[in-house]
Structure formats: structure tokens, C-alpha cells
Amino acid sequence: MLIWFSIFIFIIALGLYYFAHQILKQKGFSEGEIVFTDIDKWEKKKFTLYDKNYQLCGRPDYIRKMDDEFIPVEVKTTERINKPHAAHILQLMAYCYLVEQTFSIHPTYGELHYPDKIFQIPFTTENQQELIDTLQMMRRRLKGRSVNREHNSFKKCTHCGFRDICDQKIKSIKSLH
């Protein structure tokens, strides 16, 4: 009798695990413990990552712990696409860099979650160099002068890889009216 009861409990636990896994998948979450989050309804810990070398700060939607790594995850809810935007990749690489500076552990990749696809983007030396080149170029251009936004496109700002550090970003469509 006890053996049948144990099997019954095991099957129920398996079913619950599968159900929870499917819900997380539907919500765009992947496996691994979520250690930080920027999503309001997840009241865990608000955080901002900061690097003083490049005066870069940012906040991925969440960071999950996989084995010994901290993986930044950025969730894009509005688009269905076949491949990630270059600006989104650059933004994610900035988060990988910030995670590395914060935890002193190199994340081998970051994740971009779109409504129907998840992309794992490797945080390679080349991707890191491209990020640093872009940051240095921006700093050079901005040095000693104030550069004003030259458009009124909310969409452009939403997709921009520098929205976290830009003080001229359009925060909502309402702010344009």
C-alpha cells in the first residue's frame, strides 16, 4: 500500500513540476534561480549595475543563476522576430559586461527573450570589444558638448541599446504630447 502511495505522490510532484515549468516558459522565463529582477511585480530586489570605468549603468529585466554563472536576461514583449536586433544585442552585451564587473564572474552568454523565441547571445571577446569601441566612440562624441536628441520616435528609443544611460530618451508616447 505504501509503495502505491509513494508512486502516487511522485506522479503528482512530477505533474506539478511540469506545470510550473510550462508556466515559466510561457512567461518567457528560463531555467535557473532568479536572483535579481527589474520586473515590478517580482518584488525581490531592485538593483542597478554600475561600472565606473565606462560610467555605465543598467538594469536587465532579471538575472538568473546557472551553475556558477550569473546570466542577464532582457525580455522584449512587443515584437515577434526571426533574429534579434543589433541594438538589443549591444544592450545585452552591456549587461553581460556589467554583470562581470559586479560579480567578478564572466557570463558566457546573455539571453534575449522575445514573445515566441529565446536567443542565447555569447559574451565573446569580440562582442565585448565592440561594446567598448561603441562606448568610447560615444564618449568622444559627447565630450565637452551636449548632444540633443534629433528625433521624436518613441519606438527608436525603445529599441536603442543606450536607453539605460541616455538622459534624452523618450520614456513614453504620452510624454510626446
Is residue 156 a contact point for ligand SF4 (CB under 6 A)?
yes
Residue 117 found at the interface with ligand SF4 (CB under 6 A): no
Backbone angles phi, psi at 12, to 5 degrees: -60, -45
Q: Which of 7, 166, 173, 176 binds ligand SF4 (CB under 6 A)?
A: 166
Candidates 16-24, 39-47, 97-105, 161-169: pick the segment binding ligand SF4 (CB under 6 A): 161-169
160 binds ligand SF4 (CB under 6 A): yes
Q: Which long-range contacts (CB under 8 A, 24 or more apart) does 56-61 make?
A: 56/94, 56/97, 56/98, 56/135, 56/165, 57/98, 57/164, 57/165, 58/91, 58/94, 58/95, 58/98, 58/164, 58/165, 59/164, 60/92, 60/95, 60/99, 60/110, 61/37, 61/113
Nearer to ligand SF4, 65 or 156 (CB): 156
The smaller minimum CB distance to ligand SF4, of residues 114 and 162, is found at: 162
Q: Is 98 in the site for ligand SF4 (CB under 6 A)?
A: no
- Among positions 21, 149, 155, 171, the unique one binding ligand SF4 when judged by CB under 6 A: 149
Does residue 63 interact with ligand SF4 by CB under 6 A?
A: no
What is the 3-state secondary structure of 120-146? Answer: EEECCHHHHHHHHHHHHHHHHHHCCCC
Query: Which residues of the chain form contacts with ligand SF4 (CB under 6 A)?
Result: 149, 156-157, 160, 162-163, 166, 168-169
